[in-house]
Amino acid sequence: MSSTSVQVDPDSGVVRRTRSGGRPSYRWSAKGFVAPGVFIVAGLLYLPFLWTTFLSFTRYRGLGSPEWIGLDNYVAMFSDPALLTSLRNTAFWVVGTIAVPVGIGLLIAVLTYNMRFGAWFRLPFLIPYAISGVAVGVIWSFILQSGGALSQAMDTFGLPGADSRWLLDAPLNTFVMIGAAAWQASGVNALLFVIGLQSIPKEPVEAARVDGASGWTMFRHILWPMLRPLTTVVVGLSIVASLKTFDVVWVMTQGGPGRSSETLAITMYRETFVQSEYGLGGAVSVFLTVVTLTASIAYLRRQLSERKAL
Amino acid sequence: MVNKVIRPVFLSVLGLLWLVPVYLLIANASKLPGDYSSAEVWKPAFGGALLDNMRDVWERADLGSTVMSTLIYSVTGPLVGVLIGASVGFAIVALRLRHGFWWFVFIFGGTVFPLQMLLMPLFVGYAETGLYDTRIGLILVYTVISVPFSAFVMRNFFTGIAHHVFEAAVVDGASTWRIFWRIYLPMSKSAMVAVFILQATFIWNDLLLGLTLSQSNDVRPVMTALTALQSTYGGSAMPVVLAGGLLVSIPTVVLFLATQRIFSRGLALGQF
Amino acid sequence: MKHTRMLAIAGLAGALALSACGGGDDGNGSSDDGGPGTNGTVADSGTLKFYTDKAAWEPQFDQVSAASEDQIGFDLDFTGYSDADTYSAFIKQSFRTAEKPTLFTWHTGDALAELVDEGMVASTGDLWAEAIANGDVPEDLQQYYTYNGDQYCVPLNVAYWVLYYNKHVFADHGLEPPQTWDDLMHIAETLADEGIPAFYQTNILFSFVWFQTLLAGSDPDLYEALGTGEASYTDPGVVAVMEQWGDMIEAGYFSDPGLADDPQVLLNNGDLAMLNFGTFFTGSLNALDMTSGEDYDFFVIPNVNPDLPQTSLIVETGPLCAAEEADDRAEAVAYMDWWLGADAQTEWANARGDVSFNPNAEIRDERLADLGEEANAGDIRLIERYFEATPQPVLTAALDGFGAFVTNPGDPMPILENIQAEADAYWANQ
How much is the CA Rg of chain A, to the nearest whole Å? 24
Q: Over pLDDT 90: what percentage of chain C? A: 69
The band of B232, judged by pLDDT with boundaries at 50, 70 and 90, is low
Q: With a cut of 90, say whether residue A177 has pLDDT above it.
A: yes
The chain A residue lying nearest C391, using CA atoms, is: A275
The Cα–Cα gap between A176 and C258 comes to 14
pLDDT of residue C40: 53
d(CA A41, CA B147): 8
Chain A to chain C Cβ contacts (< 8 Å): 109
Task: Determine, for residues C260 and A138 on separate chains, whether the beta-carbon distance falls below 8 Å.
Answer: yes
**Closest-CA distance of chain C to residue A38, Å:** 12
Nearest residue of C to residue B214 by CA position? C79
SS3 A40: helix
- C237, C363: one domain: no
Q: How confident is the model at residue C50 (pLDDT cuts 50, 70, 90)?
A: very high
Name chain C contacts of A145, Cβ cutoff 8 Å. 256, 258-261
Quick check: C30 pLDDT over 70?
A: no
- C132 and C182 inside one domain: no
Flag if B38 and C261 touch (Cβ within 8 Å).
yes
Is A134 within 8 Å of chain C by CB? no
Chains that touch B (3 or more CB pairs under 8 A): A, C
* Nearest CB neighbour to C99, from listed B127, B208, B229: B127
Least confident of B52-61, C237-246, C320-329: B52-61
Say how many residues make up chain A: 310
Assess whether pLDDT exceeds 90 at residue C221.
yes
Which subunits sit against C, judged by 3+ Cβ pairs under 8 A? A, B
**Res A85 pLDDT > 80:** yes
Contact residues, chain C, for A269 at CB < 8 Å:
85
Mean pLDDT of A113-126: 87
Q: Quick one: average pLDDT of C22-36?
A: 37
Average pLDDT over residues A69-87: 93
Q: B244-248, B263-267, C34-38, C390-394 — which is least confidently predicted?
A: C34-38
Mean pLDDT of A91-108: 95
Same domain, C321 and C303: no
User: Is the same domain home to C300 and C167?
Assistant: yes
In this complex, the residue of A132, A142, A202 whose CB is nearest that of residue B223 is A132
Q: How many CB atoms lie within 10 A of CB A65?
A: 13
pLDDT surpasses 50 at A137: yes
Inspect the interface and report whether the beta carbons of B112 and A240 lie closer than 8 Å: yes
Total length of chain C: 430
Res. B124: pLDDT tops 80: yes
pLDDT of residue C33: 38
Q: Which segment of A205-209, A231-235, B144-148, C420-424 scores lowest on mean pLDDT?
A: A205-209
Q: Which long-range contacts (CB under 8 A, 24 or more apart) does A224-227 make?
A: A226/A200, A226/B160, A227/A193, A227/A196, A227/A197, A227/A200
Number of neighbouring beta carbons within 10 Å of residue B86: 27
A274–C27 CB contact, under 8 Å: no
Q: Does A41 touch chain C (CB under 8 A)?
A: no
Question: Alpha-carbon distance C35 to A6, whole Å?
Answer: 69
Q: Closest by alpha carbon to A300, among B97, B148, B61, B252?
A: B148
Arithmetic mean of pLDDT, C141-151: 93
The amino acid sitting at A72 is D
Burial of C272 (0-12, 13-18, 19+ CB in 10 A): buried
Residue B76 pLDDT more than 50? yes
Tell me: pLDDT of B224 over 90. Answer: no
Residue A25 has a pLDDT of 66
CA dihedral C366, C368, C369, C375 (to 10 degrees): 140
Q: Structural domain tally of chain C?
A: 2
> In the 8-state DSSP scheme, what is residue A221?
I
User: Among A44, A51, A65, whose Cβ lies nearest the Cβ of C25?
Assistant: A65
Same domain for C352 and C221? no
Same domain, C86 and C96: yes
CB B60 within 8 A of CB B229: yes
Q: Is there a single domain that holds both residue C141 and residue C184?
A: no
Same domain, C200 and C221: yes
What's the 3-state SS for B212-241? HHCCCCCCCCHHHHHHCCCCCCCCCCHHHH
Looking at residue A8, its amino acid is V
- The chains in contact with chain A, meaning 3 or more Cβ pairs closer than 8 Å, are B, C
Residue A119 and residue B4: Cα distance in Å, rounded?
Answer: 16
Instruction: Give all domains of chain B, ordered by start, each with its CATH number.
Output: 60-264 (1.10.3720.10)
Average pLDDT over residues B24-28: 91
* Chain centroid to CA C287: 20
The residues spanned by each domain of chain A are: 72-308
Q: How far is A111 from chain C (nearest CA, A)?
A: 37
Q: Which chain A residues have a beta carbon less than 8 Å from that of B159?
A: 229, 307
Of C120, C259, C403, the CB nearest to A256: C403
Enumerate residues 6+ apart whose C-beta is below 8 A from B228.
B61, C55, C56, C58, C80, C82
Q: Does C168 touch chain B (CB under 8 A)?
A: no
Chain B residue numbers touching A103 (CB-CB < 8 A): none
Residue type, C302: P
Measuring CA to CA, which residue among B210, B207, B199, B209 is closest to residue B256? B199
Q: What confidence category does residue B240 fall into, taking pLDDT thresholds of 50, 70 and 90?
A: confident
Let me know whether C190 and C282 are in one domain.
yes
Task: Give C332's pLDDT tier (boundaries 50, 70, 90).
Answer: very high
pLDDT beyond 70 at C284: yes
CB atoms B125 and C8 under 8 Å: no
Global pTM reads 0.88
Phi (first) and psi of residue C125, to 5 degrees: -50, -45
Look at A138 and C252; give whichever has higher pLDDT: C252
Residue B251's closest CA among B194, B186, B195, B204? Answer: B204
pLDDT > 80? residue A5: no
Residue A219 has pLDDT above 80, yes or no: yes
What one-character-per-residue DSSP string does A112-149 give?
HTTSTTHHHHHHHHHHHHHS-HHHHHHHHHHHHSTTSH
Instruction: Categorize the per-residue pLDDT at C15 as very low, low, confident or very high, splitting at 50, 70 and 90.
Output: very low
Q: With an 8 Å Cβ cutoff, are B11 and A108 in contact?
A: yes
Per-residue pLDDT band for A14 (boundaries 50, 70, 90) equals very low
**Which of C265, C395, C400 is the best residue to mutate to test the A interface, defined by the most A CB atoms within 10 Å of its own CB?**
C400
Q: What is the pLDDT of residue C6?
A: 40
Which residue in B112, B113, B132 sits closest to B220, CA to CA?
Answer: B132
Nearest to C258 among A47, A63, A168 (CB): A168
Three-class SS of chain C: CHHHHHHHHHCHHHHHHHHHHHHHHHCCCCCCCCCCCECCECCCCEEEEEEECCHHHHHHHHHHHHHHHHHHCEEEEEEECCCHHHHHHHHHHHCCCCCCCCEEECCCCHHHHHHHHCCCECECHHHHHHHHHCCCCCHHHHHHHEECCEEECEEEEEEEEEEEEEHHHHHHCCCCCCCCHHHHHHHHHHHHHCCCCCECCCCCCHHHHHHHHHHHHHCHHHHHHHHCCCCCCCCHHHHHHHHHHHHHHHCCCECCCCCCCCHHHHHHHCCCCEEEEECCHHHHHHHCCCCECCCEEEECCCCCCCCCCCEEEEEEEEEEEEECCCCCHHHHHHHHHHHHCHHHHHHHHHHHCCCCCCCCCCCCCHHHHHHHHHHCCCCEEEEECHHHHCCHHHHHHHHHHHHHHHHCCCCCHHHHHHHHHHHHHHHHCC
Find the residue in A nearest to C93 (Cα): A62
> Does residue C2 fall inside a structural domain?
no
Pairing of strands C274-278, C154-166: antiparallel
Both C201 and C308 in a single domain? yes
Who's near C276: CB < 8 A, 6+ residues apart? C161, C162, C163, C164, C199, C200, C209, C210, C213, C301
C262: in domain = yes
How many Å apart are CA A296 and CA B6, to the nearest integer? 38
CATH code, residues A72-308: 1.10.3720.10
**Which residues in chain A are closer than 8 Å to B191, comparing Cβ atoms?**
195, 199
CB atoms inside a 10 Å sphere around CB C136: 24
Q: Which of B154-158, C1-5, C388-392, C422-426 has the lowest mean pLDDT?
A: C1-5
Find the residue in A nearest to B116 (Cα): A269
- Any chain B CB within 8 A of the CB of C12? yes
Judged by CB atoms closer than 8 Å, whether chains meet at C13 and A256 is answered as no
What does the DSSP assignment read for B139-165?
A: HHHHHHHHHHHHHHHHHHHHHTS-HHH
Q: Quick check: C16 pLDDT over 70?
A: no
Q: What is the distance in angstroms between the Cα of A51 and the nearest Cα belonging to chain C?
A: 6
Name the residue type at position C137: V
A42 and chain C in contact, CB less than 8 A: yes
Could you tell me which of C86, C99, A76, A50 has the C-alpha nearest to residue B116?
C86
State the pLDDT at residue C156: 95
pLDDT at A133 over 90: no
- Contact present, C104 and C153 (Cβ < 8 Å): no
Averaged pLDDT of chain C: 88
- Option in C27, C258, C396 nearest A63 (CB): C27
The CATH number that applies at residue C114 is 3.40.190.10
**Distance from C397 to chain B by nearest Cα, in Å?**
21
CA distance C15 to A43: 9
CA distance B166 to B182: 11
User: pLDDT tier at B234 (50, 70, 90 boundaries)?
Assistant: low
B contact test, residue of C262, C271, C325, C399 with most B CBs within 10 A: C262
Residue C17 predicted with pLDDT over 60: no
* Half-sphere exposure at residue A165, Cβ-oriented, CA atoms within 13 angstroms: 12
Could B211 and C58 be called an inter-chain contact, meaning their C-beta atoms sit closer than 8 Å? no
Give contacts of C406 with chain A, Cβ < 8 Å.
Answer: 257
Domain co-membership, C338 together with C407: no
Spell C314-331 as b/e; 16+ CB within 10 A means b: bbbbbbbbbbbbbbbbbb
Separation of alpha carbons C398 and C404, rounded Å: 10
The whole-number pLDDT of residue A202 equals 80
Nearest to B121 among C20, C81, C283 (CB): C20
Does A258 contact chain C (CB < 8 Å)?
yes
User: Could you tell me the CA-to-CA distances from A30 to B99, B191, C327 in Å, in that order?
Assistant: 11, 21, 49
Asked if C54 has any chain B CB less than 8 Å from its own CB, the reply is yes
pLDDT tens figures, B85-109: 999 999 999 998 989 899 999 999 9
Over residues B231-239, the mean pLDDT reads 69
C85 and C101 share a domain?
A: yes
CB C301 within 8 A of CB C213: yes
User: Per the CB < 8 Å rule, is B152 touching A233?
Assistant: yes
- What pLDDT, on the 0 to 100 scale, is given for residue B33? 78
What pLDDT does B87 receive? Answer: 96
> Could you please report the per-residue DSSP string of B103-141?
HHHHHHHHHHS-HHHHHHHHHHHHHHHT-TT-HHHHHHH
Which residues of chain A are within 8 Å of residue B143 when distances are taken between CB atoms? 40
Q: Which domain holds residue C295?
A: 160-315+382-428
Which residue has better confidence, B148 or C11? B148
Q: Of A220, A217, A190, which Cα lies nearest the Cα of A115?
A: A190
pLDDT score of A7: 41
Question: For chain B, first and last CA: distance in Å?
Answer: 11
| A195 to B157: CB separation less than 8 angstroms, yes or no | yes
